[in-house]
Structure 1
Amino acid sequence: MADAPIANNGTAEQPSWGKGQLASHTWMEPVMVASILFFAMFINRRKNYSIFGSEKAYALLEEDSLAARLSDDAPTYDPENRDDPEYVYTASKHPPKRRNCCGTVVHTPNSSRFANHFHSRILQKFPFLIEMFYWIVNFGFYACTRAMTEVIFVKEKVWDIAQDHGTGVLTIEHESFFSIFFPIHEVSFQQWFMNGHTSLLTFLNRIYSLIHIPGTVGFIAWYYYVAPNHGTFAIARRTMTLTNFIAFTTFTLWPTMPPRLLPKEYGFYDTVHHENAESVWVQGKYVNSLGAMPSLHFGYAFCIGAGMIYHSGIFRRTLKKGESVKSKIGKILYVAGGIAYPTMVLVVIIATANHYWLDAVAATFVVLLSYMCNRVFLILLPLEDLLLWCLRLEKPIPSTGERFHKRGGRI
């Protein structure tokens, strides 16, 4: 393994902590996430649509829905245009969908004929269920990263390789030209909290446990409700999803040990696992404990912060279609929240020795790259169409922002 030039000769003494986290956290966190999701499903339900209503309800909904017209994943056919070169397809009652895939037009089955099936009507009533499905798929890919890493590097060697990568990150930060950008060492930052500020560190442990998944899910639920249209929401969702996939690929091909797992001579202390303070989301056989680079904690937080600042409208001259004007106080609050949230998460992940500064820097670039390339996921729409056809299911028309804007959009 690599040498340890950054090792701290005076390792931090174990702090005198108070009580550890209550045992209730093992069920409280999943209940919190489930509650957020089900509340989002309820608040974003379509009030003017009945699961047991008439078969004409869907046709009226499709004609009136602003969200459907502004969504990037809407099929590109025009049944009213006889000059359309694809008119031969659009003349039927359920014309094939015309998708643009890698510069090529692909025709896929139109599942709208299944719109009045019972399971389709459930989705039309509760369209946020489709967002829940997308994040289940995300979690499934994450659960595979640990196993794939062990297969690629051989299980016994993964730990040593990840430790080399972790110490390499410290070397870059502290002994290379880039050291001017990292004047405060992670170990010094953590020890400030451990020497006389353990109550604050205990609070940060709780934040680390509770903020990552519930906070991210809460943002998705909130933005689905307040976004001016589904296209705007989808950009945020696709950006976060692509951030996930880039991070998962990095976890698999370049496993990195977090500071808290480095040998003791480096001076870091594993505060999150002290007295069962860890989150249920960082436990279990599917959790990849060697996925420090890039930091998904900070990546999500940066996405959320950027989303809040964008939603404030303070840096935009024009409003999105369907977007309401916000008060000056509202704009200031959104911007303040957009700055404060990722800053808080950065403090948490460094103070608890779960990440390096460079992890957060890498996460920032990953998010920016994901934003610029987020439309890459649109190439998967033909596969989604085929899946919906096989399930005899029609994709719901999104209700993004409908209820919020009808109430005046004053959040």
Structure 2
Amino acid sequence: MHQCRPDTTQVYQLGRAFTTLFLDDTTVNVARRHALQLIHLEQRLHLFVELPVQAWFLERPNLMHWTNRTYSFIHIPGTILFLIVMYYISTTRPRKNLQKTSTKGASPTRLHRTVGRLNPDMYERRRRTMAMCNLLAFIIFTAWPCMPPRLLGDPTYEGPDAPEALSYGFVDTVHSKDGESSVWTTNRFCNQYAAMPSLHFGYSFLIGLTVATLPIETPRRLSWKRISLVVGGMIYPAIILSAIVATANHFVLDAVAGAIVCITAWHANGFLLNLLAMEDWFLWVVRIHKPSKALVDSKGVPLRL
């Protein structure tokens, strides 16, 4: 049986760790300059809302506390939980239902209805999309490092951009004394200059769309169940967007880039299927059996989801 692999975020984290090993002062200065360029672009587009948004949250300490926790503890665990749930509802549960129906000698039409629109392809496409997001993000932040707003106020920097960088007054709420940092935000391999694009928002965008469009059985097109899924699918990315901006970890355009990367990865995720031959070759070399995705009934006849 095809197994759940909630490790797509690890590819991204390894990429960030790799680039961290080669950071120097030149990279930091370039990342700072790119961040200031983003601010200038947002000002021209009338999108530079990061300062008033953070100020609004800072005036509400309790809300700021939970926003810090949201940023530090929701992204990776939430993504892993999403993949686990998606695997269960799209693969494990339909397989169980299919096996039960097949043992009763059901017709092919009934077997198809048993499976419905929830099938392994739903999970696999989203997992591949996340992996593709990681690849695209790695290319972008390696070629175009960008400093998050919270690091612009570094008092030790005395370069030509220092006056402007210090003038904005962004506050690092997550890593401050009263912040809520986590192992994912403070480890020594964390690349602090990979703000563009924001996969915090890119992942939440994909998760939100998946929840909002999840196939459900309902006699009506518009039901309370569908409305609940749509609302839930909109709330999650909205919360993540608020968190990444309020904590000064990303610019608004970082989130926009994250959404664009997600959409691009969704349409290009099939590219990763070309690597299956390499996977088969590697497993053959190390003499590891690759589990079959085929499901058989009690008579050994293959069943397809």
Q: TM-score, normalised by structure 1?
A: 0.58
Q: CA deviation at 1:132?
A: 4.3
Letter in 1 for 2:3: P
Distance (Å, rounded) in 2 between the aligned partners of 1:308 and 1:156: 43
Q: CA deviation at 1:244?
A: 1.1
What's 1:159 paired with?
Answer: 28
Letter in 1 for 2:194: G
Q: CA deviation at 1:334?
A: 1.4
Unaligned runs of 5+ residues in structure 2 are 91-117, 154-165, 296-305
What's 1:268 paired with?
Answer: 170
What's 2:21 paired with?
Answer: 147
Q: CA deviation at 1:127?
A: 2.6
Contact 2:147 2:195 survives alignment (8 Å): yes
1:238 aligns with 2:128: yes
Larger Rg: 1
What's 1:344 paired with?
Answer: 239
Q: Specify the SS of the correspondent of 2:259.
A: helix
What's 2:250 paired with?
Answer: 355
Superposed counterparts of 1:63-142, under 5 Å: 127-128=3-4, 131-132=5-6, 136-142=10-16
Contact 1:146 1:252 survives alignment (8 Å): no
Superposed counterparts of 1:219-230, under 5 Å: 219-227=82-90, 228-230=118-120
1:304 to 202, 207, 228: 207
Contact 2:12 2:138 survives alignment (8 Å): no
Superposed counterparts of 1:14-93, under 5 Å: none
Distance (Å, rounded) in 1 between the aligned partners of 2:294 and 2:181: 36
- Higher helix fraction: Structure 1 or Structure 2? 2
Q: CA deviation at 1:232?
A: 1.8
1:168 aligns with 2:37: yes
1:218 aligns with 2:120: no
1:187 aligns with 2:89: no
1:325 to 195, 206, 217: 217
Distance (Å, rounded) in 2 between the aligned partners of 1:390 and 1:377: 21
Contact 2:201 2:255 survives alignment (8 Å): yes
What's 1:36 paired with?
Answer: none
Letter in 2 for 1:331: R
Cα deviation 1:189-209 (Å, max 9, x = unaligned): 1011112x1111111001111
What's 1:279 paired with?
Answer: 182
Distance (Å, rounded) in 2 between the aligned partners of 1:230 and 1:330: 22
Q: CA deviation at 1:338?
A: 0.7
Distance (Å, rounded) in 1 between the aligned partners of 2:73 and 2:294: 28
Q: CA deviation at 1:399?
A: 9.3
Contact 1:127 1:399 survives alignment (8 Å): no
How many pairs were matched up?
Answer: 252
Change (3 A) 1:367 1:133: closer
Contact 1:210 1:279 survives alignment (8 Å): yes
Cα deviation 1:49-104 (Å, max 9, x = unaligned): xxxxxxxxxxxxxxxxxxxxxxxxxxxxxxxxxxxxxxxxxxxxxxxxxxxxxxxx
What's 1:293 paired with?
Answer: 196
Unaligned runs of 5+ residues in structure 1 are 1-123, 314-323, 401-411
Q: Specify the SS of the correspondent of 1:394.
A: coil
Distance (Å, rounded) in 1 between the aligned partners of 2:293 and 2:236: 28
Q: CA deviation at 1:330?
A: 2.3
Give the ranges of 4+ consecutive aligned residues of structure 1 lying more than 4 Å apart after TM superposition: 132-138
Letter in 1 for 2:38: V
Q: TM-score, normalised by structure 2?
A: 0.77
Distance (Å, rounded) in 2 between the aligned partners of 1:157 and 1:231: 44
Q: CA deviation at 1:134?
A: 5.2
Which stretch has the larger CA shift, 390-399 or 279-288?
390-399
